[in-house]
Structure 1
């Protein structure tokens, strides 16, 4: 009787160990279930990003906005329904792009291996491959994420760092998802590519404290140029401004060089200079592009592990824009 109890206990332990092993991110998660998945994604990215390099910035932003709200579960990709307004229709996400790009890749992967590869993994891999395709860093993307079932427009409003946030708020929001000051500075480095809308900086330029003033932490000459050449009035919601003027499609140290000159576009960028800790991290990145790439890779891989759904949690969506029926 004792030996039978021991055997049962051993079997239960083995099942638990096997289950916990399977429910982990791992490199090559689809090696057996869909061995061509990552090749399909890479091929599509390589064929299309060269024609529209600006999409690299859009896709890494999409990955960021996904992970910071309910974890890296593809919830940002879901469409609103008559009974629910989804994340993509929340105010901070109205300028997100790249949804069609992800949907196109998902269709190709589904044709190869129906119901196997998650939208969350496709988004994480696509963000990496697109950045690398324009000469940016390469980082490991372990896979095995599952897709979430919930997407609420209210959540990004409380979870996402915003262009107007000071350093304290940014550190709090990063801390809420297990990231630190080093990760904040490194991931902000992605602002070296892409553009922003004037609406993101209009208050900073025209009404910073409510009396028609300009943020004093912004270089005065840069502010003047922005107001005369780009964002000509506080109501401009359509004009685009380069995050890193002159090299918006090049992943380099240009963003940090702009920040130390007090020419970071967002107030949140300028806030990185308000602490000796974050200033020193910027100084370290400016020592070499290779060093920055290596450190960035560590932080974004860390970001890609935020609040994951693994094992039997969530689902593998057939279409990234809607949950399975």
Structure 2
């Protein structure tokens, strides 16, 4: 990022937090509809909602500071106008959404269904297959007695994956975070989730696979097709949403990257105008220069004007080209121009007299 862009205040930070809160609400609705309710779910979701709403409220104060106390105004400006603080708040909000996406896994039962069925049938775990599960009347979404222990029945763990994909959308909305920073954050989120899936919570997904196969034997190929279709549609929608979010973020970043360039060109133009004005004041008296600079003129008016009465006087200063020399003694020619300005001022004074 250029130094100018790094110093630029992003007034849309409150909007980014609002988008993050919206993604969190989608994840909550998804998991409340799919998974059994638990005190852990209620406590974590309410806490995260309060935190995100508080962050959104504080950041929204920046847009309408006059309506709130001075302490809140100062706090809002301190967050929005500081690149380090706003980035830290953004990462914190993203991590909150990610926690909401997988925290319910800890309330689900992690008992391996294959081992439990083997104990019920007095066989080895390797001998347990879909047929044995059908014999025990194990199916998706139904309690299985001691096989789930004290945990909740979570037979559709793929929705945890869908929720994590949704949480990645929260990374793409914060345009002031660099692409490398977003990449590292997304990789960290995915790596953490994969460690949970392949480690302590691997039994959730293994149990779901076995139950899907058991239901397929009972219901025919339609059951497998429906599960695959539902998962594919959800992943497809999430993927499209992620792509659109990243594209919008890239476009917004590109647009904001042009701001320093436009600001630099504007400053360069203003410096050039000031330089030209100084040159004009060295050549013309200030009142004459002010007359020409008083209003915007068309290009043709720089060369001629329509007047009812016109007097034309031709004058020349002999040997002025030889007299004009840019030396340190005459301040690089400024003294020569000042003398020329005084001569022109004398002519202007003569012309201003009433005869």
TM-score by length of 2: 0.18
> Larger Cα Rg: Structure 1 or Structure 2?
2
Higher helix share: 2
Point out which structure has higher relative CO (alpha carbons under 8 A, 6+ apart). 1
TM-score by length of 1: 0.19
